[in-house]
Amino acid sequence: MARRETALQTAHGRLRELIGSEFRSGDKLPNERDLADRLEVSRATVREVLGQLAAEGVVTRTWGIGTFVHDGAERVPVSIGDVTALRDRITASGHRPTLQDATVSRAKCPADCAKVLGLEPDSPVWRVDRLFAVDGVPAAWIRDHLPLRFDDRDLDPSGLVSIDLDMFEFLASATGMPVRRAEIELAAVLADEESTARLGVAVGHPLITATQIGYGAGGAALFHGHITVRTDVLTLRISRGGD
């Protein structure tokens, strides 16, 4: 095991040196076979090292297209450990958030959403689609569903088409109940045609998706959302605090 780890470390160092000396930001690297020949290691070793370099942000890998030297653009770290507007998290990192696209419409409630909100499947709900950009680059596509009414109050989320109003702010005002807790479940995916159209990436580009549920006092679910994030623009950070 120690010998294998040493071989990986050596290959890792040699590949980083090769990238730094012969390639520029945005360049496509040779395929795994060619790299294995140059480094005199197996393709499996090259594949593992490229995975490490991708995790470190040195390269980006797109299935079916290839591996590229990271373009050097700064990725914006945002914390998902607290209930804070994405707009404010981006601003706090010293970057400019904008809404490139936003729509509010009535839609049929998907089954997973209906279960969370305590509704029948296909019940009418509000659907809010928003495409957030960071410094003009598409970064996060968020699709939220929320009920038409909550505690006998009609909800009108039309103001969410503006960057000036966040979902948490809207719900606190409209329901009289602030979002006290958010549950987020993350998954790694490859871009499909819909996320390609939204986020401006190639099919197969690595993305992170998250399912988010916001709860008010007493555990009442206020909204159910899906978030798709370009991790070459945003990095997600989870912070845990202790007493």
CA distance 98 to 125: 26
Instruction: Say if CB 225 and CB 149 are below 8 A apart.
Output: no
Please report the sign of the dihedral spanned by the C-alpha atoms of residue 174, residue 175, residue 181, residue 186.
negative
Whether residue 35 is predicted with pLDDT greater than 60 in this model: the reply is yes
Structure token pair of residue 213: 């549920």
The mean pLDDT value of the chain amounts to: 84
The pLDDT, as a whole number, for residue 1 is 45
139 touches 133 (CB < 8 A): yes
pLDDT digit string (tens) for 40-56? 999 888 888 888 787 66
**Centroid of chain to Cα 195:** 11
Residue 236 has pLDDT above 50, yes or no: yes
Confidence band for 242, pLDDT divided at 50, 70 and 90:
very low
User: Higher-confidence residue: 93 or 50?
Assistant: 50
What residues have CB less than 8 Å from 64, skipping those under 6 apart? 203, 204
User: Is 81 a residue whose pLDDT tops 60?
Assistant: no
Question: Where does the chain have alpha helices with state H?
Answer: 2-22, 32-39, 43-56, 86-92, 111-117, 167-175, 193-199
Residue 243 banded pLDDT, cuts 50, 70, 90: very low
Residues in the chain: 243
| Per-residue model confidence (pLDDT) at position 218 | 81
Question: What local confidence, expressed as pLDDT, does residue 222 receive?
Answer: 92
- Residue 220 tokens read as 């009442």
Q: Is the dihedral of CA 89, 91, 96, 98 positive or negative?
A: positive
Residue-wise pLDDT tens digits, 172-182: 899 988 888 88
Q: What's the whole-number mean pLDDT along residues 75-103?
A: 78
Q: What is the pLDDT of residue 133?
A: 92
Q: Which domains does the chain have, with CATH numbers?
A: 2-69 (1.10.10.10), 76-237 (3.40.1410.10)
pLDDT, position 2: 47
Structure tokens at 7: 């071989």
pTM attached to this predicted model: 0.67
Share of the chain above pLDDT 70, in %: 86
